[in-house]
Amino acid sequence: MDTLRQKMQQSRKDRAERKKQARSRFHFRSSPLFKLLAVLGPGLIAANAGNDAGGIATYSSMGSQFGFQMLWVMVILLVGVAVVQEMCARMGAVTGKGLSDLIRENFPIRLTTFVMLTFFVANTGVVVSEFIGIAAALSLFNIPTWIGAPCGGLVLWLLVTRGSYAKVEKVFLFFTIAFFAYIFAAFMANPNWHQVASGTLIPTVQLNGVYISTLIAAVGTTISPYMQIYVQSGVVERGVTVRDYKYTRLDVYTGSLFSISIAFFIIIATGATLFAHSGGKGIVLGSASDAAVALVPFLGIYAKYVFALGLLGASFLAAGVLPLTTCYSVTEFLGLENSVSRRWSDAPVFWTLFTVLVVISVVIAALPGLPVVNILVNLYLLNGILLPVILFSILYLVNKKRLMGKYTNGIFMNIIAYTLTIVVSLLAIAYVLIQVLDAFGIHLFGL
């Protein structure tokens, strides 16, 4: 036991020294432009990872079932994503520690264990969904699932394990280019921009089960626990300090704006086509790939490939971010070595866990006839339980003077953050309640 404790302490010392060296390298060039380009990445990647296969399916459903009536929701979610991501990035810059590290050090061990275990199980399920998204996107290019899933997993594994953090980050940033496909699809749909503006500025609420469940799903897929853990770990691994934090804040806000804008255009594309041609009744979509196929009669065969390209890029990005986030959280919780820039021998648990997650996800994604939807519903329930815990944990930590010093939240920031956290938490709890009651045959709001 003493030997294990000594190894963990030495591992923490080694990590602290490398972070110090990273910060030294970061400060080597002091031009504002260099610093801006140097820190761009964690915020943009984390926010856009939320636009994964499940996110695209949700946003497509918002447009296909309600047209432009739910665009106003995305304006509020923009504020929510930006505020939560900024708090985590700030904690990373001030403390030099990841979110799981801080939770382990500042919360009771039982609560920490519950949070990490729930996060691990739920995140593993969502990783599987991303590889299903990769296989589904490739199937739209006539590549069979049993080929697409393993090939996608191998390519991703090689990209992440064979490079430094800087190289991996560049690859992830490259995948964000695919999101422009959805902007292109929205303009191809030739929407009524007056109706778009009206749906954005004038809130419309419907008291029916479909609308409420879609609203809850939109919140859950836009503000996810793994996004907060990744952005804070990314800031720490980049060696960003308080002195340079203004550039990271810009990265976080830019990433949030870009991410929500993509979701915005997905809703426009499906609202201007699928909903507009449904006679106001709306069309229910089962997945993101269903949306790509459904657009063909209205926008032509190229729309299918445009949507498929966006889905492929989004799924690849999230399939890389999610396993890494899981590995960060587990190794931070255990106090073990964790870094994309470290060799396998230096961080064996980190890389072994990453490999296992990829292999399991590929195998499950390639299995025929698996009840994937039912499995994922239960795993998203775990994420729904975890989300309020993570959000309130973030607020507790970011307002702790001993940790943050003068960089705690101001009064105005806390008002916004607590309001958003309470609303998001209530919606998450409502989602869990609806699913549990539904399992017993009790349907709320006509669901």
- Whether the model clears a pTM of 0.85, i.e. scores above it, the answer is no
Domain tally, the chain? 1
Q: Which residue has the higher pLDDT, 99 or 125?
A: 99
% pLDDT > 70, the chain: 78
Rounded Cα–Cα distance for residues 307 and 319 (Å): 18
Residue count of the chain: 447
Mean pLDDT of 60-85: 91
Q: How many angstroms from the chain centroid is the CA of residue 123?
A: 10
- Condensed to tens digits (0 to 9), the pLDDT of residues 414-436 reads 999 999 888 877 877 777 777 67
**What does the pLDDT look like over 101-150, one tens digit per residue?**
898 889 888 888 887 887 787 777 778 878 888 888 888 888 888 888 89
pLDDT band at 100 (very low <50, low <70, confident <90, very high): confident
Give the pLDDT confidence score for residue 267 in this predicted structure. Answer: 93
* pLDDT score at 415: 93
pLDDT band at 72 (very low <50, low <70, confident <90, very high): very high
- Region 356-374: mean pLDDT is 77
What residue type is 364 in one-letter code? I
| Cα-to-chain-centroid distance, residue 271 | 24
Choose between 368 and 447: higher pLDDT. Answer: 368
Domain around 224: 2-446
pLDDT recorded at residue 22:
46
pLDDT of residue 136: 80
Side-chain half-sphere CA neighbours of 375 within 13 A: 16
Q: Read off the pLDDT band of 87 (50, 70, 90).
A: very high
DSSP states of 80-135: HHHHHHHHHHHHHHHH---HHHHHHHHS-HHHHHHHHHHHHHHHHHHHHHHHHHHH
CATH of the domain at 438: 1.20.1740.10
- Between residues 240 and 193, the one the model is more confident about: 193
- Mean local confidence (pLDDT), 206-224: 78
* pLDDT tens-place string over residues 18-37: 554 444 444 434 445 444 44
Q: Which of 16-25, 52-61, 171-180, 217-226 has the lowest mean pLDDT?
A: 16-25
The pLDDT assigned to 214 comes to 82
Q: Which pLDDT value is given to residue 319?
A: 81
